[in-house]
């Protein structure tokens, strides 16, 4: 796989948390949504995120857990530069992503790629897979290099080349999600924002995708921001875990710390519920 | 799509009219302009299925030639109006903010003018001609399309595949034309098909009052006007030219309605 980004430092030893580079840092992020009533006369403000601060180290997997409506996806959308903060910052390697110029933003987008829950909705229904993936590949490459890269992308997510000529509706749910992952990798991304990326699949497929993600992470030294309501998958994939409740980050820490000795009663409740 | 009865019926109707008008010289040997003073105002007969007009010209031939003008105006005006409306609607919907507000207020202003009054004023100040009618109708017919396209873009741009495309670092033009445009094509085709009928009606109206196609050139409106001068004596002129307008407009509207049913996931199967 010639195209794959070289790991930042090949066989480095795991540094302590304080020494490691912060790829993404979220500082005091607050996001409000404005809702209008039926006649559009009165405006109501809903605070989706309140004063959220955390960071993601290069090469780690930070998982964010919370119930529906707790603000998980809003954080993902802010990191992906789709939802602007009302206050606070999102920094990438120390630079505020909301101050990027257009070219810098494009480069940032290619570096931080999303994989959404709904693979059906994530692929343009009018575009064959070959074109969908080709759009992700660096446009400055020659056509030979591009096709080689496409093949590499597909093999890295264990898909056959024959799907290249198909439309998204001709693929199964699992194949579509693999195509989405391949597309996210084809840009040469350093980080994947996995927003409930495997939640909608059946259990056996979830296990396959988890294994695949772990392999890719190891092989490509990727950073994952993994959002889920499912603690079991979080236990497998995460290095650190954050717990979100009503738009507030109530607890964040090492995976073992959160799973074995949670401090907050809400975290304990979530863990108890997940055992059933 | 072919299973949709409305579409099928409309399509056959429109196709029949188009084939008749396009293949005209091979179907009817008579010249639409040659006058025959011996056969003035003859009712429908075997040699003249739609009768003849006040100058002894074969009405069937005239109506088919008139169809060429009316359909040309309908199709050309729709093409330009849809092109203008699509471009303005896409810019407005995708960029949003001040650009959207400015363009939509412009659309409101354009919609605020009574279209027929504007057409009459513009054509009244100049010499009526085929080209002028094409230009004026195109410039005053795009607003509805712009609104439909804007609404569709607003909905499609929130889809995850568009967000994914933006996240790939693609430029705006590529996102618009590769990811948004193909997915709003259905509603554009539907409004275009429905617009053809309404443009034909407006053209017929203008030609009827003498501000559209000018005699001796034939158009359904001018023939209708001619027939109106002696409705009791030569009823067939009004009847057949009126029928031509009605059947064509119904045909295009049925195709439009049928397409809407096919392309709307709530009422039919989605095209794929």
Residue A11 in this model has a pLDDT that exceeds 50: no
Residues of A in contact with B171 (CB under 8 A): 106
Q: A interface mutation test: which of B95, B156, B162, B167 has the most A CBs within 10 A?
A: B167
B247 or B219, greater pLDDT = B247
Cβ distance A116 to B164 less than 8 Å, yes or no, reads yes
- CA-nearest residue to B185 within chain A is A126
- Are A158 and A208 contacting, i.e. CB atoms less than 8 angstroms apart? no
pLDDT of the residue at B115: 75
A–B: how many Cβ contacts below 8 A? Answer: 58
Q: At what angle do helices B59-95 and B181-208 cross, to 10 degrees?
A: 140
Report residue A22: phi and psi, to 5°. -85, 110
pLDDT bucket at A40, cuts 50 / 70 / 90: low
- Mean pLDDT score of chain A, rounded to an integer? 85
Task: Give the count of domains, chain A.
Answer: 1
Average pLDDT of the segment spanning A81-95:
91
- CA-nearest residue to B180 within chain A is A124
Alpha-carbon distance B43 to A113, whole Å?
75
Residues of A in contact with B166 (CB under 8 A): 82, 109
Alpha-carbon distance A139 to A130, whole Å?
14
Strands A191-195 and A112-115: parallel
pLDDT of the residue at B24: 72
Say which residues have a Cβ less than 8 Å from residue A124's Cβ, sequence separation at least 6.
Answer: A132, A168, B161, B165, B178, B179, B182, B183
- CA-nearest residue to A195 within chain B is B160
Cα–Cα nearest to A66, from A260, A263, A269, A276: A269
Say which residues have a Cβ less than 8 Å from residue B88's Cβ, sequence separation at least 6.
Answer: B103, B107, B142, B146, B149, B150
Cβ distance A125 to B170 less than 8 Å, yes or no, reads no
Alpha-carbon distance B174 to A237, whole Å?
35
Alpha-carbon distance A59 to B184, whole Å?
40
Which one-letter DSSP state was computed for residue B252? H
Residue B236 in this model has a pLDDT that exceeds 90: no
Which of A82, A109, A121 is the closest to B159 by Cβ?
A: A121
Give the domain ranges of chain B: 5-18+52-263
Average pLDDT of the segment spanning A125-132:
90
Most confident of A256-270, B47-61, B143-157: B143-157
Cα–Cα nearest to B43, from B230, B207, B209: B230
Which of A118, A135, A187 is the closest to B160 by Cβ?
A: A118
Say which residues have a Cβ less than 8 Å from residue A49's Cβ, sequence separation at least 6.
Answer: A29, A30, A31, A71, A74, A75, A78, A85, A247
Residue A90 in this model has a pLDDT that exceeds 90: yes
Cα B263 off chain centre by: 20
Residue A225 in this model has a pLDDT that exceeds 80: yes
Strands A223-228 and A240-245: unpaired
Residue B219 in this model has a pLDDT that exceeds 60: yes
Domain spanning B5-18+52-263, CATH class: mainly alpha
- CA-nearest residue to B181 within chain A is A126
Say which residues have a Cβ less than 8 Å from residue A179's Cβ, sequence separation at least 6.
Answer: A119, A123, A129, A132, A133, A157, A159, A163, A168, A171
The secondary element (H helix, E strand) that includes residue A202 is none
Cβ distance A135 to B168 less than 8 Å, yes or no, reads yes
pLDDT bucket at A17, cuts 50 / 70 / 90: low
Range scoring the smallest mean pLDDT among A67-71, B18-22, B63-67, B262-266? B262-266
Residue A15 in this model has a pLDDT that exceeds 60: no
Which residues of B lie closer than 8 Å to A, measured between beta carbons?
159-161, 163-171, 174, 178-179, 182-183, 272
A199 or B25, greater pLDDT = A199
pLDDT bucket at A139, cuts 50 / 70 / 90: confident
Say which residues have a Cβ less than 8 Å from residue B31's Cβ, sequence separation at least 6.
Answer: B61
Residue A100 in tokens: 């990027």
Cβ distance A123 to B161 less than 8 Å, yes or no, reads yes
A window 126-185, beta carbon within 8 A of B:
126-127, 135-136, 167, 169, 180, 183
Alpha-carbon distance A43 to A50, whole Å?
19
Alpha-carbon distance A127 to B156, whole Å?
15
Cβ distance B168 to A118 less than 8 Å, yes or no, reads no
pLDDT bucket at B63, cuts 50 / 70 / 90: confident
pLDDT of the residue at A276: 60
Alpha-carbon distance B1 to B259, whole Å?
8
Q: At what angle do helices B97-112 and B59-95 cross, to 10 degrees?
A: 150
Q: Can you give the CATH number for the domain in which A265 is found?
A: 3.40.50.300
B178 or B213, greater pLDDT = B178
pLDDT of the residue at A79: 94
pLDDT bucket at B89, cuts 50 / 70 / 90: very high
For B20-34, the pLDDT digits (tens) are: 888 876 776 677 677
Residues of B in contact with A125 (CB under 8 A): 161, 183, 272
Per the DSSP assignment, residues forming a β-bridge with A62 are: A225, A240
- A9 in a domain, yes or no? no
Alpha-carbon distance A129 to B166, whole Å?
17
Average pLDDT of the segment spanning B1-14:
83
Range scoring the smallest mean pLDDT among A108-122, A203-217, B67-81? A203-217
Which of B161, B168, B272 is the closest to A121 by Cβ?
A: B161
Classified as helix, coil or strand, A19 is coil
Residue B255 in this model has a pLDDT that exceeds 50: yes
Cβ distance A110 to B160 less than 8 Å, yes or no, reads no
Residue A237 in this model has a pLDDT that exceeds 70: yes
Half-sphere exposure of B129 (CA within 13 A, CB side): 6
Please report, to the nearest 10 degrees, the dihedral formed by the alpha carbons of residues A142, A145, A146, A152 taken in order: -170
DSSP for A43-110, written as a single string: EEEEEEEEEEEEEEETT-EEEEEE-TTSSHHHHHHHHTTSS--SEEEEEETTEEGGG--HHHHHHHHH
- CA-nearest residue to B184 within chain A is A126
Alpha-carbon distance A5 to B208, whole Å?
71
Q: What is the 3-state secondary structure (H, E, C) of A220-259?
A: HCCEEEEEECCHHHHHHHCCEEEEEECCEEEEEEEHHHHH
Residue A14 in this model has a pLDDT that exceeds 60: no
pLDDT bucket at A6, cuts 50 / 70 / 90: very low
Range scoring the smallest mean pLDDT among A74-78, A133-137, B268-272? B268-272
For B135-168, the pLDDT digits (tens) are: 888 988 899 999 999 999 999 999 999 999 999 9
Half-sphere exposure of B172 (CA within 13 A, CB side): 8
Specify burial of residue A152 (Cβ count, 10 A radius: 0-12, 13-18, 19+). middle
Range scoring the smallest mean pLDDT among A79-88, B92-101, B107-116? B107-116
Q: Rg of chain B's alpha carbons, rounded to an integer? A: 22
Cβ distance A109 to B165 less than 8 Å, yes or no, reads no
- Are A83 and A34 contacting, i.e. CB atoms less than 8 angstroms apart? no
pLDDT bucket at B269, cuts 50 / 70 / 90: very low
Residue B129 in this model has a pLDDT that exceeds 90: no
- A6 in a domain, yes or no? no
Average pLDDT of the segment spanning A238-249:
91
pLDDT bucket at B59, cuts 50 / 70 / 90: confident
Distance from CA of B138 to the nearest CA of A (A): 30
Range scoring the smallest mean pLDDT among A54-68, B72-86, B96-110, B229-243? B229-243
pLDDT of the residue at A82: 92
Range scoring the smallest mean pLDDT among B43-52, B90-99, B130-139? B43-52
Q: Which domain, by its residues, includes A236?
A: 22-275
Q: Rg of chain A's alpha carbons, rounded to an integer? A: 19
pLDDT bucket at A5, cuts 50 / 70 / 90: low
Residues of A in contact with B97 (CB under 8 A): none
Residue A265 in this model has a pLDDT that exceeds 90: no
**ipTM of this predicted complex?**
0.84
Residues of B in contact with A135 (CB under 8 A): 165, 168, 170, 174, 178
- A7 in a domain, yes or no? no
Kindly list the distances between the CA atom of residue A124 and the CA atoms of A119, A264, B143, B179, in Å, as whole numbers in the listed order. 10, 42, 28, 6
Residues of B in contact with A136 (CB under 8 A): 168
Alpha-carbon distance B2 to A268, whole Å?
59
Range scoring the smallest mean pLDDT among A24-33, A96-105, A242-251, B37-46? B37-46
- A10 in a domain, yes or no? no
pLDDT of the residue at B270: 46
């Amino acid at each position: 796989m010639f195209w794959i980004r070289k790991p930042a430092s090949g066989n480095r030893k795991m540094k302590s948390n304080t020494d490691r580079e912060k790829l993404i840092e979220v500082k005091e992020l607050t996001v409000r949504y404005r809702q209008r009533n039926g006649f559009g006369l009165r405006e109501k403000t809903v605070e989706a995120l309140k004063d959220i601060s955390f960071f993601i180290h290069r090469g780690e997997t930070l998982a964010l857990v919370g119930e529906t409506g707790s603000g998980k996806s809003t954080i993902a959308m802010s990191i992906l530069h789709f939802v602007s903060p009302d206050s606070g910052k999102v920094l990438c390697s120390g630079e505020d992503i909301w101050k990027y110029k257009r070219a810098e933003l494009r480069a940032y987008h290619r570096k931080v790629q999303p994989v959404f829950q709904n693979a059906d909705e994530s692929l343009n229904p009018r575009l064959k897979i070959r074109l969908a993936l080709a759009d992700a590949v660096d446009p400055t490459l020659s056509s030979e290099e591009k096709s080689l890269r496409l093949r590499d992308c597909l093999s890295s997510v264990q898909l056959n080349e024959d799907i290249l000529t198909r439309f998204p509706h001709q693929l199964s749910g699992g194949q579509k999600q693999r195509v989405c992952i391949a597309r996210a990798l084809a840009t040469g991304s350093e980080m994947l924002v996995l927003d409930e990326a495997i939640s909608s699949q059946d259990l056996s497929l979830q296990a396959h995708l988890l294994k695949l993600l772990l392999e890719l992470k190891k092989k490509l030294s990727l950073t994952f921001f993994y959002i889920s309501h499912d603690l079991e998958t979080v236990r497998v994939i995460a290095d650190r875990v954050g717990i979100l409740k009503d738009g507030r980050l109530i607890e964040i820490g090492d995976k073992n710390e959160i799973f074995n000795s949670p401090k907050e009663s809400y975290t304990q409740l979530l863990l108890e519920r997940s055992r059933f | 799509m072919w299973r949709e009865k409305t579409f099928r019926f409309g399509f056959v109707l429109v196709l029949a009219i188009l084939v008749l008008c396009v293949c005209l010289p091979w179907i009817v040997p008579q010249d639409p302009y040659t006058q025959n003073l011996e056969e003035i105002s003859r009712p429908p007969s075997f040699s003249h299925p739609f009768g003849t007009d006040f100058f002894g010209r074969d009405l069937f031939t005239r109506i088919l030639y008139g169809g060429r003008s009316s359909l040309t105006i309908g199709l050309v005006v729709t093409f330009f109006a849809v092109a203008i409306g699509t471009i303005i609607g896409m810019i407005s919907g995708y960029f949003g903010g001040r650009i959207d507000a400015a363009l939509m207020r412009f659309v409101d202003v354009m919609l605020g003018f009574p279209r027929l009054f504007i057409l009459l004023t513009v054509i009244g100040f100049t010499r009526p001609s085929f080209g002028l009618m094409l230009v004026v109708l195109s410039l005053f017919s795009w607003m509805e399309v712009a609104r439909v396209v804007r609404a569709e873009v607003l909905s499609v741009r929130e889809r995850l595949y568009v967000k994914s495309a933006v996240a790939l670092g693609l430029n705006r033009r590529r996102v618009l034309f590769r990811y948004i445009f193909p997915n709003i094509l259905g509603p554009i085709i539907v409004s275009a098909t429905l617009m053809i009928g309404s443009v034909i009606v407006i053209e017929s109206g203008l030609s009827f009052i003498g501000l559209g196609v000018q005699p001796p050139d034939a158009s359904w409106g001018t023939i209708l006007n001619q027939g109106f001068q002696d409705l009791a004596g030569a009823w067939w002129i009004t009847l057949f030219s009126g029928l031509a307008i009605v059947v064509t407009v119904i045909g295009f509207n049925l195709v439009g309605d049928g397409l809407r049913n096919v392309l709307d996931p709530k009422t039919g199967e989605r095209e794929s």
